[in-house]
Structure 1
Amino acid sequence: MTGTRPAGDTPVREARRGILLQLVRPVARTVPWRAVAAGGGLGLLAAAVPRLSGGEVTPWAGVNALRAAALCFALGAAFLLDDPARQTTAAVPVRRALRHALRCALVLPPAAAWWTAAVLLVPEEARPPAGDATLEAATALALALAGAAFAVRRRGAGRPGRAVSASLLAAAVLAPLLSPADWALFTEPDDPRWADAHGRWTLLLCGALLAVTVCCAEPVRRRTLRTPRSPSRP
């Protein structure tokens, strides 16, 4: 005997899938492609600087070029959740997490192609390990999305991108200056602390992804309990 599905389960799933598919086109139109493309363009330019400079390129220059490229793309991705019509789309019968996930899903394929091009732009002799460099880039992107998701959840911001990108840029400038030597993140491939640093990058990425997951959930609105009035009271 084959198990029977609960009545109404399949129609509900099909209805949700149909609603999600119908959201693809309108969501794609509201994605700030110009901001993402601007960040990606600046990132490719930063990655190409060592190759365009001529002469010998050191591993330190190569890894910093990729870090600058990742930061530029993350600054553009900070605008990904910008949606001036958020109060209108909130009435759509699809959870916020799915709407945000749909935006990210639309950007991930071009982001992967962009990152591949950025890595290949760095000369091979100065190119850092691709996996570790990708880990740093993914962390920067996750931090940008976490900041935007937090602003949307906390304040219902329609355009959190500008404030988040400014905060991310400030953090990227201050982190190498303020981080303790024992917790150095921005090391070079020849540094014996390279492996330990990328263990910390992994922890930072996990924390950022957890923050994105939590902030993308629908906020729970507290219901205020009203004391019933007695007939004698006005």
Structure 2
Amino acid sequence: MGAVRGVSGALVGAVARTVPWRAVGAGAVVGLLVVGLPRMLSGEPDPWLALNLLRGAALVFALGLAFLLDDPARDLTTPVTTPRWLRTSLRVALVAPLAALWWTAALALVPEEARPPLGAITLEAAATVTLALTTAALAVRLSDEPEPGPSVAATLLTTACLTPLLLPFHWDLFVPVDDPRWDAAHERWAGVLVGAVLVWAACGPEPLRRRRVFGRHRPARALGRPGA
């Protein structure tokens, strides 16, 4: 049991050193600045503004988490015996408590009289963050890019900007609290969250077939064989 604990501790420490803490921290800090903006301004709290600032803060934090699976040493970590799903899950587990504290602080920055329903806005934030992680997992699964974070963040930001414009009115996700579609919109948010989690789970295993194909080609190129 002691050996198992030692190995587990060594693995957690190794994974923690690979987490891009600067990117995650930058997303957290900027997100708090976004949601805390009304505190710096004079005037009565605006529930509509507070709702959208919380949505903006969640998006900014998700952009930071888009870099979570970046691994400059990916070519070295791919062949290790520890499965990739475990390494990526550890990264998420290391960041999850910080994310919970961050979201609690973001909600606390909004005056109580302007704060939207906590469960509904937390569902939106969870779905947004999970979409960022799922997009990163897809990038890792479908490519050999060791640091897909910038392209993942760009994809997430583009999707966030285009979704309100492309979705039909009755499928809108970003609705005000007093809108009759509020409950239906959050049923859709729950569907988005569940779908993102399922895709994340499907991206866990290493794509062994593609790795073997690349593995056969690399020695040929190294030997300088024509047509390799």
Same fold (TM over 0.5): yes
Give the aligned residue type for 1:79. F
Partner residue of 1:36? 24
Cα distance in 2 for partners of 1:19, 1:99 equals 13
Partner residue of 1:150? 138
Alignment of 1:132-211 (within 5 A): 132-211=120-199
Q: What is the deviation of 1:27?
A: 1.1
In structure 2, which of residues 197, 205, 212 is the aligned counterpart of residue 217 of structure 1?
Answer: 205
Q: Normalised by the size of structure 1, how large is the TM-score? A: 0.86
The unaligned stretches of length 5 or more in structure 1 are 1-10, 225-234
Q: Normalised by the size of structure 2, how large is the TM-score? A: 0.88
Q: What is the deviation of 1:54?
A: 1.9
Give the aligned residue type for 2:201. T
Give the aligned residue type for 1:20. S
Give percent identity, aligned residues only. 57
Cα distance in 1 for partners of 2:165, 2:116 equals 22
| 2:118 equivalent to 1:102 | no
| Greater radius of gyration (CA) | 1
- Contact 1:50–1:123 (8 Å) recurs in 2: no
RMSD: 1.7
| 2:68 equivalent to 1:69 | no
Cα distance in 2 for partners of 1:103, 1:139 equals 18
- Contact 1:67–1:136 (8 Å) recurs in 2: yes
Partner residue of 1:228? none
Partner residue of 2:73? 85
| 2:45 equivalent to 1:57 | yes
- Contact 1:97–1:216 (8 Å) recurs in 2: yes
SS at match of 2:71: coil
- Spell out structure 1 runs of 4+ moving beyond 6 A: none
Partner residue of 1:22? 10
Cα distance in 2 for partners of 1:65, 1:206 equals 24
Higher helix share: 2
Give the aligned residue type for 1:150. L
